[in-house]
Amino acid sequence: MDNYLIVASMIFCIGALGVIIRKNLIVIFMSLELMFNAANLGFVAASNRLNLISGDIFVIFVIVVAAAEAAIALGIAIAFYREKGTVDIDMANELKN
Amino acid sequence: MDLKILITWLIPLFPLAGWFLWGIFGKYFKGLSGYIASGFVAASFILSVILFFIVAYSHGFTDTLYPWVYAGIFKAGVSADIDRLSVIMLVMVTGISTLVHVYSIGYMKGDKGFSRYFSFLNLFVFSMIMLVISNNLLLLYVFWEAVGFCSYILIGFWYERKSASDAGKKAFIVNRIGDFGFAVGIFLLFVTTKTLNYETVFAAIPSVPAYTTTIIALLLFAGAVGKSAQFPLYIWLPDAMEGPTPVSALIHAATMVTAGVYMIARFHVIFSYSPAASEVVLIIGTFTAFFAAFIALTQFDIKRIIAYSTISQLGYMFMAVGIGSYTAGIFHLISHAVFKGLLFLTAGSVMHGLSGELDLRKMGGLYSKMKTTAVTFIVGGLALSGIPPFSGFFSKDAVLADIYNKGFYFAWIIGEITALMTAFYIFRLIFLAFFGEPKPDQNKHAHESPQIMTIPMIILAVFAVIIGFLGIPPFNDSLFYNFLHTDFKNAYNFAPFVNNTPWYILSLISVFAGLLGIYAAYLLYIKKAFDPERIKSIFKPVYVLSYNKVYIDEIYNFLIVKPLLVFFDFLWKVIDVKVIDGAVNGIALAFAGFSAKARRIQNGMLMSYILTLSIGAAALLLYYFIR
Amino acid sequence: MDFFIKYLLSILIFFPVVSIFLLLPVNKKNEGILRNFSTFLSLVEFIFSLYLFIYFKQNTYKFQFVEKFNWIPSFGASYFLGIDGVSLFLILLTTLLTFISLLSSYRYIKEHVKEFVILMLLLETFMIGTFAALDVLLFYLFWEFMLIPMYFIIGMWGTGKRIYSAVKFVLYTLSGSLIMLFGLIYIFIMHYDQTGDFTFNILRLYNTHISNGFQLILFIALFLGFAIKIPLFPFHTWLPDAHTEAPTAGSVILAGVLLKFGVYGFFRFAIPLLPSAAFALSPFVIILGVIGILYGAFVSIVQKDLKRLVAFSSVSHMGFIMLGLFAMSAISVDGSILQLLNHGITTGALFLFVGMLYERMHTRQIKDFGGIAKKAPILTTFFMISVLASVGLPGLNGFIGEFLILIGSFHSYPVLTIIATSGIIFAAVYLLWMFQRVMFQDITNPAAESFEDMNLREIITILPLVALMFLIGFYPMPFLERIDPTVLHFLSMINHHHKAVYNAIKLKAGLSNA
Amino acid sequence: MHNMPSIYGINFLEKSMLSIIPETVIIIFAFMVLFLTFFEKLAKRKNSYYLSLIGICFSILYVLMLSGSNIYGFYGSVVFNSFDVFLFIAILFSGMFTVLMSKDYMENSEMPVPEYYSLILFGLSAMMFLVSSNNLIMVFLSIEFMSICAYILTGYIKGNTRSTEAALKYFILGAFASAFLLFGAVFIYASTGHLNLYAIHSFLQNISYADSISRSGGMGIKVYISVGLILFLVGLAFKMSLFPFHSWTPDAYDGAPTPITNFMATGIKIAAFAVFLRIYSLIYNFNIMNFNDILWLLAVFSMTFGNIAALLSSNIKRLLAYSSIAQAGYILVGIIGGGFYGYSGTLFYLFSYIFMTAGAFAVVVIFESSDIISLDIKRYSGIGYKYPFIAASMAFFLLSFAGIPLTSGFMGKFYVFSSAVKSGYNWLVVIALLNSAFAAFYYIKIIVKMYMPDEEPVSIIRGAIDDGLMITIIICLILTLLMGVYPQIFINFANNSADSLWRI
């Protein structure tokens, strides 16, 4: 199971890295999705290993939540684009100090 | 309540009442307050005389009016110790005060502070009485400072004059310096003997180690040096002449300044058990006597001349108590009080006649204008220069003879030289002021003073003549001695008589010295045998030194006052504002700086936020793994 | 009446609050009513407080007028009041000075009168509460909230750099008292761990056993809180600013009462709770005190601002008090407690006079004055009496206190006491010099020509203080005989912790041969 | 350990429903408010406002009815006991204040109102679920639910760039953080095989028992668990806005509509702390590793950073945001102090924290207008005389933040600090006290502006003040004062709920 977890962790880190270094909103959302899916992978692997079902249930919930979040994300992204005319997050620097 | 106790407490009560009355209702009394005030003091004078006879024919007693300060084991009551010494002082103080009060009615006539003047004068009399009769050191100290305050307020009586208020302040502060020593002495005395009552203290002293006694005695003496204007703290007294002349007569000649001598006589046990301390007293006294007389030689301000002579005479008294012959000291104190009071009053009358003129160089030939003044003044002068049968002769000789017979020859020689100088400067004053050709501008309005002023002068003059006869047969079996010496029986005789030269020989010498001084003055200022200017030019450096009062004031100012002020200013402007407060404000500024930095973290950049977040997470994980 | 006496302390504490509610409906326009009514109420309060004095049983150290109710059982905190000989007089001082400062500010306070009187009454509540509280938490509650009204008084009616001074005052004092709070909590927890008794009752906390090392740390914690309040030498810099910029009433209360809390805290908490630390550190505290005496005096000499001079002078005076308290001999502690009252009375009076001069001349620079004596004899007389009391002239109150302090401390700290004694010289220098330049000499400032003398209200304001100066000067026994038992108990309480030390006290108090 | 089977009884469905009644009520009302939009004439602003208030009141009623009962619903994944009662009340209060503030605020914006209120209610229910959740799934779900409502509400004001930006930042960071939380859950699950907190609790008990007898036992598992817990902590610390995870706080607070800022500052923070407290009391405080060290660091950094950053900030909402970071640090001190005393102290502090914060934000709403300058503290200069009551209460709330006695803030601080001293965290307390000393500066700065204006007071155009706001302020004032002067009742309340943390 360790290997699964390691893979999951690597995916998680990739996602996190993506969130950190990319400036395009859409890509950032995708990276976030990646992080969630890394978690999902971990759950599936774990529940399979422990042959329990609860992990899989959790995964389903996570997928639902991720979907909902994606909806919100796009809503906010559109609003942002409408105001700023771009999806570059560096444009979001009105609130500071 | 016993009659004598009633009398005892009535004596201070009258002046106290006077103080309140004139202080609060003064403006309703107008000129009347002067008369009533004098009446009050006269009343306490009469009571003191009664008390004097009570004590003289029975014995002393003590009484406590009410418990004053009881804290822990510290106990001090408001209580009186009436013995022969204190009754003599009482009579002297109240007597002279009465005369001065009467005199002041005339002198202060028309002054807008008339009532204020009398209220403070009454307060002074009250404090002086309490000082004399108190029977524990705390009470003594209280009134020791109270009289100082009265002198402060009365010197600065004409407060609009900067010089006057300066002089008052100077007097108070210099006295404080002395009192500082006095206070510390009291502390030390208390921690060694656990009490401040005279009897118990004196009982304890013989068993106290000598060096402790010496320290105590020296500290107490510091107080006396301040109060009685001895070197090096005498500087306030000449300036004190800024006050009204009667005040100078009462406070700065007759009573307050002699408190130091009284104090030493009162604490004869302490001082006599510490020969070293007495030695110091003698040395200081001798030096001051000579030093002041030397300055007095060349002054032109008549009041200052008399002031310096007062300092010098106080020096004599300290010589006396310094060699343990307390009766002689007190005797000289009394007679000096009389004739010096007389001299001041007459000087005041001269001023009054010349509308406040003090400069000898502007005087001359006043004899014809104001005969009473002149005669009384000359009486005073003769008494001062110790010419028989005037009181000064007996008292000063009692002192000098004791000094000689106790074997302090050097002090004795100094004393004789001082006597010569004394005679010279006082008669220089007399000749310049009353004889010689009148100065034209004075003659117009020079006039004799009203009777209310002259009568006290005459009374004092009479006393200046007769009081000396208490001193016969001279010295150690005189009336005065026999009356008083019982009070000093506890004194430890540290300076026994080494030779008993008969008194007349010693007297002859000092009378000769006095006459010599007078003759010199006569040659210089009447006969004009030599031109004073020539003498000046011969002794130029000496003259300049004496004329400028040996620059003592300047030296103090330059060495002490100025540097201290600079230091204080530094303390405030640099240490307080810059260093301490600067540190406090610095901390605040530092925090402001941090704040500016901290808010730079919050730069609005989403990326950096995510970075901080993930770095935080990584840090936590790292923290876990490294430990 | 019986009820009245039984709950007198609570009544005293809460009467001002009640009076605030009486004042609230008054329209802020008619300032006359506000002024007179509030002054009257504070007078009533003062008269109530006199009952404390009347019904106070002397020659016992036991706490009197005790009230005890549950307050926060889960903290072991209770509403626990009571007074002994020391807090009695401090409470009397508080009520008197509040009345006086309300009376004195008729002319000084021109705007926001309503806010002013309300804040003053609020302040009174907390000051009395602090002196009466025997429960540490309750004490701290009163102690710390006291800052807020004072802060408003300085900041709203002050002059010059008032905001800077007010904020400095609050932050400085607050940081001190928060450190102190840590110490108090620590002792509270320690006591709980030892006895399982969850209480803030100071009388029970006295029995906490703390190892010497901890005592030192805790003492320093408490020390910071109290020393800043006093203020002791290096922590004094908030004081001149606060005093100088505050309105007259503020300065009077600040100098008259607030500075007392530091000493009171040492007396009631720091020393009895941590005796051995107190003894170990007493030389350092005393050295600081003595430095304060001279430093305050020196700096006062060169001040150009009248009020700042008086402010620095109280640094000097508080130094005397600390010397007396930490010499820990019966005499010196008596003296410093008495000197607390004296300082309140005298310095309060001095600030009142500075205020009067300021109201008339609109300046505080000494050089702008001169020759006032000619115009205002009454003011001169009273001012001079107060100045002399502050100089420590015998026959007035200041002398008794200082003398007892010094003579009591001399045995254990001769050298320091001598140095301290030299302070009396400098006191004379700066005060008399100031007095001469302000009142004597000739009028230089034309504004002084139209200088009117004290009116009746001002005379009434000053009279009680001057009367007290003479009373304490000539007949201090009513005060001393009530203070003395408390002080002796204070010392013996320390002994109860500290046998070895007690002998030292006995030596100092001279009880050894008694 | 409680007897698990009890919830497998016949009538477990009723039991389960019973356990979530308060939430259900709120949700029902949320839907009712939402439905109002369908009816043109009912869709007035007022109706939804009052309806949501009524809903909250009902919910409070139910909570009080259920108080004292101790129910496990849905296979033990939802718990309802006095701990929840206390926190439900707290949360419902914060929701009520939010609604009360919103009326005035919404009137001068042309956004659709019913959705707004329904979102608030949904958020409330999410928080309550979070508090009572006893299962990692529940925790994750309710956190996400809560956050989503918060995201939407933050960006609710259309066309306001600040609002949108705040929503954006809040969302990205929030999702990022919950990813961490989720991944932490993965590790915990992988190592323990349980999602139910009680189950994990017992598992950990066994482990610690095991290696108390042999040091060899289950080292690998411990590493997994620790990593999981740390990641989980990151996710929660984000919601609690502790220092390194705080960075969303100032911006989100600043950009969001002020009532929502209050909602975040009180509701979300409390819910997060509550769940953290529950999980901490169940899981963290095993000797898997010494979490108190980490918490110690977090607490110290949070309070210091918060106060220092607040010193110079002139925008009142940001200032309060920074101060809330610092407050989180203080609250954490209570948790570190731990033990019964510490937990009840923490709860007490949380409870008192609602009222001061809500009061302060209510005052902010009063003086806020569309322009950004309205948030500058210069705006407050001289209002002490224009609006004596409001200014006085604002001053009182600020003093409560600063922890001056007579305010609930002092009692709360005192409580948590003394608990920390009790468990021997002296330095922590000293640092905290020094912090609150210089924190006083920026609270006092505002009071100075209000009462001692050095520059000419800004003229405030302000009509009649809305009743909702006044009610909020008055309630907050009364409770802040009451908790400051006679806190015993609330302490008892907190004690009960802390007690129920032990009775598992």
Amino acid at C91: I
In a domain, D79, yes or no: no
Q: What is the pLDDT of residues B56-69, one digit of tens each?
A: 888 888 888 888 88
In a domain, D498, yes or no: yes
In a domain, D329, yes or no: yes
Residue C187 pLDDT > 60 = yes
In a domain, D122, yes or no: no
pLDDT tier at C500, thresholds 50, 70, 90: very low
In a domain, C311, yes or no: yes
- Point out the residue among A20, A94, A97 whose CB comes nearest to the CB of B599: A97
Residue C513 pLDDT > 50 = no
Residues B269, B272, B276, B279, Cα dihedral to 10°: 120
Beta-carbon separation of B68 and C509 below 8 A: no
Interfacial C residues in 294-333 facing B (CB < 8 Å)? 295, 298-299, 301-303, 329-331
Assess contact for C53 and C88: CB atoms under 8 A: yes
Residues in chain D: 504
In a domain, C185, yes or no: no
In a domain, D63, yes or no: no
pLDDT tier at B442, thresholds 50, 70, 90: low
Residues of chain A with Cβ-Cβ distance to D166 below 8 Å are 95
Beta-carbon separation of A96 and B610 below 8 A: no
Q: Which among C310, C277, C281, C316 is positioned nearest to C296, based on CA atoms?
A: C316
Q: Which range marks the domain in which residue D349 is found?
A: 290-504
pLDDT tier at D461, thresholds 50, 70, 90: low
Q: How far apart, in Å, are the Cα atoms of B537 and each of B532, B542, B544, C7? A: 9, 10, 10, 89
Report, as an integer, the average pLDDT of D213-228.
70
Residue B175 pLDDT > 80 = yes
Rounded distance, CA C139 to CA C79, Å? 10
Q: What is the pLDDT of residues B196-217, one digit of tens each?
A: 888 888 888 888 888 899 999 9
In a domain, C231, yes or no: no
- The SS3 of residue B470 is helix
In a domain, D319, yes or no: yes
In a domain, C196, yes or no: no
Q: What is the pLDDT of residues D125-142, one digit of tens each?
A: 999 999 999 899 999 999
- Point out the residue among A19, A47, A97 whose CB comes nearest to the CB of D313: A97
Beta-carbon separation of B180 and C425 below 8 A: yes
DSSP track, C439-484:
HSS---SGGGGG-----HHHHHHHHHHHHHHHHHHH--HHHHHHHH
* Residue A90, min C-alpha distance to chain D (Å): 11
pTM attached to this predicted model: 0.91
Report, as an integer, the average pLDDT of D185-201.
88
In a domain, D473, yes or no: yes
Residues of chain C with Cβ-Cβ distance to B69 below 8 Å are 400, 403-404, 476-477, 480
Assess contact for C458 and C326: CB atoms under 8 A: no
Mean pLDDT of chain B: 87
Q: Is C in contact with A (3 or more beta carbon pairs below 8 Å)?
A: no
Residue D35 pLDDT > 50 = yes
In a domain, C373, yes or no: yes
Rounded distance, CA B280 to CA A19, Å? 95
Domains present along chain A, CATH in parentheses = 2-91 (1.10.287.3510)
pLDDT tier at C511, thresholds 50, 70, 90: very low
Q: Hey, which chains touch D, using 3+ CB pairs under 8 Å?
A: A, B, C
| Token pair belonging to C418 | 């001598």
Quote the pLDDT of residue D219: 59
Mean pLDDT of chain D: 86
Residues of chain D with Cβ-Cβ distance to C28 below 8 Å are none
- The SS3 of residue C69 is strand
Residues of chain D with Cβ-Cβ distance to C144 below 8 Å are 404-405, 410
**Number of inter-chain CB pairs under 8 A, C vs D:** 87
* Residue B359: how many other CB atoms lie within 10 Å: 10
Quote the pLDDT of residue D459: 60
Quote the pLDDT of residue D414: 93
Quote the pLDDT of residue D212: 59
Beta-carbon separation of A97 and B614 below 8 A: no
- Point out the residue among B602, B605, B610 whose CB comes nearest to the CB of A19: B610
Residue C502 pLDDT > 50 = no
Query: B182 to chain C: nearest residue by CA?
Result: C421
Residues of chain C with Cβ-Cβ distance to B177 below 8 Å are 425
Report, as an integer, the average pLDDT of D30-55.
82
Residues of chain A with Cβ-Cβ distance to B614 below 8 Å are 16, 20
Structural domains of chain D, count: 1
* Residue B184, min C-alpha distance to chain C (Å): 7
Beta-carbon separation of D247 and B612 below 8 A: yes
Quote the pLDDT of residue D155: 87
Q: D447, D450, D493, D496: which to substitute to probe chain C, counting the most C Cβ within 10 Å?
A: D447
Of residues C1 and C98, which shows the higher confidence score? C98
Q: What is the pLDDT of residues B444-486, one digit of tens each?
A: 677 788 888 888 899 989 988 888 888 776 656 777 888 888 8
* Residue A36, min C-alpha distance to chain D (Å): 6
Assess contact for C111 and C72: CB atoms under 8 A: no
Q: Which range marks the domain in which residue C443 is found?
A: 274-485
The backbone torsions φ and ψ at residue D72, rounded to the nearest 5 degrees and listed phi first, read: -115, 120
Q: What is the pLDDT of residues D280-317, one digit of tens each?
A: 888 877 766 678 888 999 999 999 999 999 988 888 99
On whether any CB of chain B is under 8 Å from the CB of C277, the answer is no
Residue D1 pLDDT > 80 = no
Residues of chain B with Cβ-Cβ distance to D227 below 8 Å are 621, 624
Quote the pLDDT of residue C504: 47
Beta-carbon separation of D294 and B620 below 8 A: yes
Structural domains of chain C, count: 1
Q: B197 forms bridges with which residues in the sheet?
A: B136
* Residue B571, min C-alpha distance to chain A (Å): 43
Beta-carbon separation of D186 and A39 below 8 A: yes
Range name among A17-31, B371-385, D97-111, D417-431 with the lowest pLDDT average: D97-111
On whether any CB of chain B is under 8 Å from the CB of C512, the answer is no
Quote the pLDDT of residue D457: 62
Quote the pLDDT of residue D172: 92
* Residue B584, min C-alpha distance to chain D (Å): 13
Rounded distance, CA C29 to CA C320, Å? 46
Interfacial B residues in 125-144 facing C (CB < 8 Å)? 138, 141-144
Report, as an integer, the average pLDDT of B388-396.
85
In a domain, D338, yes or no: yes
Q: What is the pLDDT of residues C265-313, one digit of tens each?
A: 999 999 999 988 888 899 999 999 999 999 999 999 999 899 999 999 9
Residues of chain A with Cβ-Cβ distance to D144 below 8 Å are 65, 68-69
Quote the pLDDT of residue D7: 45
Contacts of D355 (CB under 8 A, 6+ apart): D93, D408, D475, D476, D479, D480, D483
Beta-carbon separation of B607 and A16 below 8 A: no
Rounded distance, CA B484 to CA B126, Å? 24
Give chain B's contact residues with D (Cβ, < 8 Å): 588, 591-592, 594-596, 598-599, 601-602, 604, 606, 608-610, 612-617, 619-621, 623-624
Residues B276, B281, B284, B286, Cα dihedral to 10°: -110
Out of B169-173, D94-98, D375-379, the most confident range is D94-98
On whether any CB of chain D is under 8 Å from the CB of C194, the answer is no
| Token pair belonging to D251 | 């911006």
Contacts of C27 (CB under 8 A, 6+ apart): none
Q: How far apart, in Å, are the Cα atoms of D447 and each of A24, C87, D263, D440? A: 44, 33, 24, 11
